[in-house]
Amino acid sequence: MLLKKQHLSAILLVSITILSFFYIREYSDQFLKITEVGASSIAILVVLFLVSRALIVLPMIWFLSKHNARMSVLEAIKLDLSTAYLNYLPLKAGLFAKGAYLKKVHNIRYTDYVSISLSLTIIQMLTVGVLGTGISIYINSGVLISSIFIGLSTACILVLNIPTKWLRSNFFEKNRVSSVIADIVVGWQIMTSDSRFFAIVLLFICSATLSVGLRLVLCYSFLSLETGIAEILLISLASIPVRVIGIVPGAIGIREAVIGAFDLALGGNFQAGVIAASLDRLILLGCLFVLGPLATHSLSKKMLDQPEDTG
């Protein structure tokens, strides 16, 4: 199954690369707008990228604190950058490397890491669904777009309320999907058992989600593309779930297409969405491929300094 998925990912990545080449060549005059973005604008986008990464990692820091493990914000950002960087490489080893690091350095069991990571993802998707529903109603985006976000919210709520005893019953014990859902519910139960902890996690996830939207708003603005702020925020929300699927590294090409499609669906322009998303992608890749290797090297040294048996 893993091999087939890797083959599918490789085929899709090659296909997306070829299609992107012809698309960029066809609209090269519009893509040249990216080269006109000033250094100060680039710096603002880089800072906002780092802020969004910092907000994303804060829930994991709080989770570790509940397991009597201490992690600084800087270390958490390094781990996040390293994970994202490694996920762009052919083997996509970021999540496994992150789990190994947490086990070696902070003595966090891999099953606990998986549970909390999956549940945080579902909470983020629920946040996307709720915010997306609110914004789509506010701008009167239409029944179809509203239904997408309502459906996402409903699916997340249903997953989080499935009884773990049922999922772990003999009938479902060999089913991989039910096992994953059970891990999600366990992580959800851990977080909701402490209302203060859950409120903080929810605040950070909302802030991180909106900061990603703000970055896309600025990309549109710096490229002088005329699309409303509420519409751009909704477009950004719609693009977040495609990154979770992980068929191709970072949903490269797919996220750009989704942003363009939603821009068009909201009465805008497909090319505008793709160009704005491309600028955002270049900022992300630039940061990851500069800071990612540095973060990976730093964390690797810290792992090697740990004793063989951490208990």
Is residue 105 assigned to a domain?
Answer: yes
Read off the pLDDT band of 148 (50, 70, 90). very high
Backbone angles phi and psi of 92, in degrees to 5: 50, 55
Read off the pLDDT band of 235 (50, 70, 90). very high
Is residue 268 assigned to a domain?
Answer: yes
Helices (H), the chain: 2-26, 28-31, 39-66, 73-87, 94-106, 110-138, 143-160, 164-167, 176-192, 195-222, 229-245, 254-265, 270-304
Task: Report how many domains make up the chain.
Answer: 1
Whole-structure pTM value: 0.88
Mean residue pLDDT of the chain comes to 87
pLDDT of residue 77: 94
Is residue 32 assigned to a domain?
Answer: no
Is residue 7 assigned to a domain?
Answer: yes
pLDDT of residue 2: 46
- Torsion sign across C-alpha atoms 148, 162, 247, 88: positive
* pLDDT of 176 over the 60 cut: yes
CA angle 12, 16, 18 (to 5 degrees): 120
Of the listed ranges 61-70, 118-127, 215-224, the least confidently predicted one is 61-70
Tokens linked to 177: 């999907």
Alpha carbons 278 and 20: distance in angstroms, whole number: 11
Q: What is the DSSP-derived secondary structure letter of residue 1?
A: -
Is residue 29 assigned to a domain?
Answer: no
Which residue is listed with tokens 């059970």? 182
pLDDT digits over 191-211, tens only?
Answer: 777 788 788 888 999 999 999
* Domain enclosing residue 115, as ranges: 2-24+38-304
Is residue 33 assigned to a domain?
Answer: no
pLDDT of residue 311: 46
Is residue 310 assigned to a domain?
Answer: no
